[in-house]
Amino acid sequence: SGEQAQQGLASVVWLIAILSINLGILNLLPIPILDGGHLFFFACEGILGRPLGDRSREMAQQIGLVLLVFLMAYATWNDISRLLQ
Q: Is 53 left (phi over 0), alpha (psi -120 to 50) or beta?
A: beta
Q: Which structural domain, as residue segments, surrounds residue 28?
A: 2-84
> Which pLDDT belongs to residue 44?
92
Q: Which of 57, 61, 36, 55 is nearest to 45 (CA)?
A: 57
What value, to the nearest 5°, has the Cα angle with vertex 19 and ends 14 and 22? Answer: 125
Q: What is the pLDDT of residues 16-72, one digit of tens each?
A: 999 999 999 999 988 888 899 999 999 999 999 999 999 999 999 999 999 999 999
Q: What is the pLDDT of residues 13-32, one digit of tens each?
A: 888 999 999 999 999 988 88
Number of domains in the chain: 1
